[in-house]
Amino acid sequence: MLAASLACISACQSANHLEFGKGLDVPYVQTPPNVVTAMLRMAHVGANDVVIDLGCGDGRIIVAAAKEFGARGVGYDIDPQRISEARRNAGRAGVTPRVQFVQKDLFDVKISEASVVTVFLLPTVREKLRPRLLGDLAPGTRIVSHSFPLRNWKPDQKLEVEGRTLYLFTVPKMAECTTAAPAGIDQTPPCLDRKSLPLPPGKQSEAR
Query: Percent of the chain, pLDDT > 90?
Result: 56
Domain assignment of residue 207, yes or no: no
Provide the number of structural domains found in the chain. 1
Whether pLDDT at 178 is above 50: no
Q: Which residues share a beta bridge with 119?
A: 54, 145
Domain assignment of residue 31, yes or no: yes
The residue with greater pLDDT, 1 or 166, is: 166
Domain assignment of residue 90, yes or no: yes
**pLDDT value at position 191?**
58
**pLDDT value at position 123?**
85
Domain assignment of residue 205, yes or no: no
Domain that holds residue 81: 2-195
pTM of the predicted protein model: 0.75
**62 Cβ contact list (under 8 Å, min separation 6):** 51, 53, 56, 73, 74, 75, 86, 90, 99, 101
**pLDDT value at position 160?**
96
The residue with greater pLDDT, 208 or 53, is: 53
Q: Please report the beta strands in the chain, taking only residues with DSSP state E, as ranges in sequence order.
A: 18-19, 28-29, 50-54, 72-77, 99-103, 116-119, 142-146, 157-161, 164-170
Domain assignment of residue 204, yes or no: no
Residue 148 — pLDDT band, cuts 50, 70, 90? confident
Domain assignment of residue 182, yes or no: yes
Evaluate whether 20 touches 27 at the Cβ level (below 8 Å).
yes
- What value does the mean pLDDT take over residues 109-138? 91
Average pLDDT, the chain: 79
Tell me the residue type at 133.
Answer: L
Whether pLDDT at 201 is above 90: no
Whether pLDDT at 156 is above 90: yes
Nearest CA among 79, 186, 60, 206 for reference residue 138: 206
Domain assignment of residue 82, yes or no: yes
Whether pLDDT at 88 is above 90: yes
CATH number of 105's domain: 3.40.50.150
Task: Count the alpha carbons within 13 Å of 95 in the hemisphere toward its beta carbon.
Answer: 26
Whether pLDDT at 189 is above 80: no
Q: 45-64, pLDDT tens digit by residue? A: 999 999 999 999 999 999 99
Pairing, β 164-170 against β 157-161: antiparallel
- What value does the mean pLDDT take over residues 26-40? 88
